[in-house]
Structure 1
Amino acid sequence: MAVKLNELDQDNYILLERRSHLGGTWYDNQYPGCSCDIPSTLYSFSFEPNPNWSHFFARQAEIEAYLEYCADKYHIRQHIQFETTVIDCKWLDDRQLWQVTAQSNGQEKYFFSRTLVSGCGGLSNASFPTTIPGIDSFEGEMCHSAQWNAKIDFNKKRVAVVGTGASAIQIVPEIYKMNTSQLIVFQRTPPWIIPRIDRQTTQWEKRLFARFPSVQKLIRGVIYWAAETAVLSFVYRWPIRYIFQELVKFNLERQVKDEAFRKKLTPTWELGCKRVLISNDWYSTLQKQNVTVVIDQIREVKQHSIVTSDNVEYSVDIIIWATGFQVQKIPLPMMGINGCSLHEQWRESIQ
């Protein structure tokens, strides 16, 4: 949006960023194995193709670097006020302006504008399971995947990972490689998994994309329409969706031979009802000798353990909460015309 405003010679705008760096979710999420699950050629700005992606699926660090590069190239950084946290937004009927209240360096600031755009995104605030009794009593190491603590030592430790979503399927295989003595995965809902068709981008391909950008643009278009076709097949109930369903079932059956364990990892919902995840090492990691998958609900957390609803107690040294983000919650108070709260307006659904 800022790039397009500059193109229109509209430079009277400010971007408020609570972090010390730009990048949003690609700055916050720095857990092991963090990468995009959308092909790199598509996961980039159409006006700034990048011929130098290292892999078919870009890693977190290079996506963040790409965003930094774009901000500098298009002169966006000068409009950003970093370490400025918005705490309140309200519409002033008498002045026909938005008043934005923010905090920066311990001081309160006020901004006034005719137009206010919320660019917080849905993946900005980590969702901790605060309702679990005893969570604050745990004496071991504990962190959320979106607030990764790189100082944690996993060597010969008993590790619990809570969650089996998009972050967890990247974290678990990487943690397993860190010589953990035991890895326990607490699963609420099993996901459908499709293979991750990933590889390094060759130097020849990079030179080709740099010399002939239209080739990369063509590949981008093919990937886009292939993805759209898959989504539309679920939305409009096209028969082709049954082929996709059988393929993901085959992928599970091919990798997990034990019938009882396979049943534990099989979703009860139809493919397409929730996010489909991509991984080549999720199923294989879960079948390692020192890895356990627990499907019973967590009842409480104790000083050195997690207790489930079936009264089984699992001793752990480290807990990783891969429990996603507060997607349904409006991240900041926003009052519109006549004092109407956006939070109340969207309380049941943001659709």
Structure 2
Amino acid sequence: MPVTTESSGAAGPDPYDVGELRANLRQADPGVLVAVLAQLTGDPAVADRFAPKITHVPDPPEQAGVTDPETAAQLVDEIVTALRTPRRADAVPADDLDLFARVAPVALGGEVGPEYLGLLLEQGGFQPSQPVLPRTAKLPAGFRVVIIGAGIAGITAALACADASIEYQIIERNDEVGGTWYTTRYPGIGVDTPSAYYSLSRDINGDWSSYYPQGAEYQAYLVSVADKNDLRKHTRFGTEVEALWWQERRRQWQIHSVGPDGTRDVSYANVVIPAAGYLNRPRWPELAGRETFSGISIHSAHWDPELDLTGKRVAIIGAGCTAVQIVDACVDQVAHLTVFQRQPHWVAPRRRASDDVPAYQRWLGTRLPYYANWIRLKSYWGTADNNYPVILHDPQWAAEHLSVSPANDVLLRMCLDYIDRVFGAGSELARKVTPDFAPYGKRIIRDPGGYYAALAREHVDVEAREPARVNQAGIVTADGRQIDLDVIIYATGYYLDFLSTVDIRGRDGKKLTDEWGDAPRAYRGGMVPGFPNMFISSAPNYSPGHGAGHNFGVEVMVHYVMECLQLMALRRATTVEVTQRAYEEYVADIDALMAGTVWCHTPSAHTYYRSGGGRIVTAFPYRLVDFWRDHRAPSEEDLELR
């Protein structure tokens, strides 16, 4: 059986072959092994002994530790010994702040400022999210939270409620957990955030098969989390929430839902946490004649697993992440492929020769205590706040460059070099795939490994404009050419829906859609004045735009929500609501900082980050550490408790 953090260092029979352990340790990053050894032994001096012997070399986007053979062998010997030796009575805990501060730079390959230590301890899974407010009061009996959606956000909220012994229920429209990863099944669908990081900090998976796994593997992870924590018994599957109406007399939300058999139901909750995401409703392009096509038309969001593209003449409309993954997956099957792009994206090359996680890393990740935690942190650190300068706008630089800053220009040059290597500098294809805006103006796309190469294949054409119209035989291009087709794939994304499909009415019947109009906005925790006891997980400006992943924003928000609920308990309040003043000041601060980012200086980029009203509504403009710090506990002066 694998060693766990609880059993590490315990005397007893070896749980695995020592020879196999040594063989795998010899291949591991020595910087990570120093951190593991220090935590296994609880001896901070380990860092002092080994740190001078560890250097780091670029292994983009991370830093890889290297050392001499003698030091590497010594590390292996000492880890084997530590695993077979009881911990000393004076050993410091693995999450000791001083110990962590001494080993983190050795493992991560660079300076780690004090402001980051708490965040890294939490995101590394070394300790759970730490409560800030005293837990000296409890919410009243019968206090109930309803979570809408069972994707990663809903799962995270449910686990937090369970930890706090708060009664909760999840309402999920599908018949399984997973959200997007359950419903979206097009060929090639995959995670474009590193798998080592894109998970819950409380449930780290050390056995990912790929650095960027396919959707089915990530869905299996979410199912396993739900099953291990018995979330299904708290979930109403196949149930759609139609309306949320605040009932002032009851001080509760009235929830109108429709079950799988069409039966309508009304229930109540003290708190609601909408966690259904904002990219759920597929967007079909307004193309004349779309319904007349005699072949197969399919949207990527509603993929038919029985569809066989072998030998077919296929067109794909779209050039975003979904289209990239589909093209990469199906190019070898089709007889001919035409890619219609409205606008090119910046595409980053795959950094590794293969996305397969090495066997030694998977072996250690499931057996060696703390190893998977550090691999997760290295993955996070490589593209976290170290990447923040890339999104900042330098007016002097931007006046003379396509990029918006020197840091942004480094990424631009990397992407341009990739274009030139694949298509040839100045070629027609190179011109077609080169954007006219700075990187990060719209979401950067990672090439799964074969997208650009696919565009250069003989049986693939790239149309740099949208189709003019569709007819029975296929597509007519903007310049009047007829392309006969068997299949048209619409990889045209989703409508940006911030709960617009749910009838949400707060105090005095105030509608959330009226409050937001075409510029959704929210305070911390997804709070909006006039909508008490509602925490919108899929709130505006809650997605990291320069690093980390969706899971980071979710965990930070859920921590904040739990602190707000604890504040209610301490003040014996039945409702909590952000004040109008705090709401407006918070939104103004976001917009002011956003004005200094790439998103507000690339107007030609067609991006879902920008609402119909022109406001950047998905990303936040803060460093990750600032965002994390500001969500540690609520500012009571910003809230109205009744």
Q: Same fold (TM over 0.5)?
A: yes
Code of the residue aligned with 1:296 in structure 2: it is R
- The Cα shift of 1:231 comes to 4.0
**1:206 matches 2:362:** yes
1:271 paired residue number: 439
Q: In the aligned structure 1, how far is the partner of 2:307 from the partner of 2:444?
A: 30
Q: Which moved more, 1:20-29 or 1:90-99?
A: 90-99
**1:308 matches 2:463:** no
Q: Which moved more, 1:336-345 or 1:136-145?
A: 336-345
1:167 paired residue number: 322
**1:55–1:201 contact (8 Å) kept in structure 2:** yes
- The Cα shift of 1:230 comes to 5.3
Q: In the aligned structure 2, how far is the partner of 1:39 from the partner of 1:53?
A: 10
User: Which runs of 5 or more residues in structure 2 are unaligned?
Assistant: 1-156, 394-404, 522-642
Q: In the aligned structure 2, how far is the partner of 1:235 from the partner of 1:195?
A: 19
Change (3 A) 1:142 1:262: same
Matched position secondary structure for 1:5: helix
1:190 paired residue number: 344
Matched position secondary structure for 2:457: coil
**1:101 matches 2:256:** yes
**1:252 matches 2:422:** no
User: Which runs of 5 or more residues in structure 1 are unaligned?
Assistant: none
Equivalent runs, 1:197-236 vs 2, <5 Å: 197=352, 198-229=354-385, 231-236=387-392
Q: Deviations over 1:275-307 (max 9, x none)?
A: 111112111101111111112222322122122
1:333 paired residue number: 503
- The Cα shift of 1:338 comes to 2.1
Q: In the aligned structure 2, how far is the partner of 1:333 from the partner of 1:199?
A: 43
Match of 2:205 among 45, 50, 58: 50
**1:349 matches 2:505:** no
- The Cα shift of 1:218 comes to 1.9
The runs of at least 4 consecutive aligned structure 1 residues that moved more than 6 Å come to: none
Choose between structure 1 and 2 for higher RCO, CA contacts under 8 A separated by at least 6 residues.
1
Q: In the aligned structure 1, how far is the partner of 2:497 from the partner of 2:390?
A: 23
Q: In the aligned structure 2, how far is the partner of 1:246 from the partner of 1:324?
A: 28
TM-score normalised by length of structure 2:
0.52
**1:76 matches 2:243:** no
Match of 2:292 among 130, 137, 145: 137
Code of the residue aligned with 1:281 in structure 2: it is G
TM-score normalised by length of structure 1:
0.94
Equivalent runs, 1:31-70 vs 2, <5 Å: 31-70=186-225
- The Cα shift of 1:309 comes to 3.1
**1:300–1:306 contact (8 Å) kept in structure 2:** yes
Q: Deviations over 1:134-188 (max 9, x none)?
A: 222222111111111112221222111010101110101222121x221111101
**2:408–2:438 contact (8 Å) kept in structure 1:** no
**1:88 matches 2:256:** no
Q: In the aligned structure 2, how far is the partner of 1:299 from the partner of 1:349?
A: 31
2:488 paired residue number: 319
Matched position secondary structure for 1:309: coil
Matched position secondary structure for 1:87: strand
Q: In the aligned structure 2, how far is the partner of 1:153 from the partner of 1:208?
A: 39
**1:20 matches 2:188:** no
**Normalized per residue, which structure has more helix?**
2
1:113 paired residue number: 269
**1:126–1:326 contact (8 Å) kept in structure 2:** yes
Code of the residue aligned with 1:334 in structure 2: it is I
Code of the residue aligned with 1:29 in structure 2: it is T
**1:328–1:349 contact (8 Å) kept in structure 2:** no
1:240 paired residue number: 407
**1:125–1:331 contact (8 Å) kept in structure 2:** no
Q: In the aligned structure 1, how far is the partner of 2:294 from the partner of 2:511?
A: 40
RMSD: 1.7
Code of the residue aligned with 1:332 in structure 2: it is V
- The Cα shift of 1:92 comes to 2.1
**2:279–2:497 contact (8 Å) kept in structure 1:** no
Task: Work out the percentage of aligned pairs sharing the same amino acid.
Answer: 30
**1:37–1:278 contact (8 Å) kept in structure 2:** yes
Change (3 A) 1:188 1:213: farther
Match of 2:308 among 132, 148, 153: 153
- The Cα shift of 1:328 comes to 4.2
1:123 paired residue number: 279
Q: In the aligned structure 2, how far is the partner of 1:162 from the partner of 1:333?
A: 32
**1:87–1:101 contact (8 Å) kept in structure 2:** yes
Matched position secondary structure for 1:338: helix
Between Structure 1 and Structure 2, whose CA radius of gyration is higher?
Answer: 2
Q: In the aligned structure 2, how far is the partner of 1:84 from the partner of 1:327?
A: 22
- The Cα shift of 1:133 comes to 2.0
Q: In the aligned structure 2, how far is the partner of 1:96 from the partner of 1:245?
A: 53
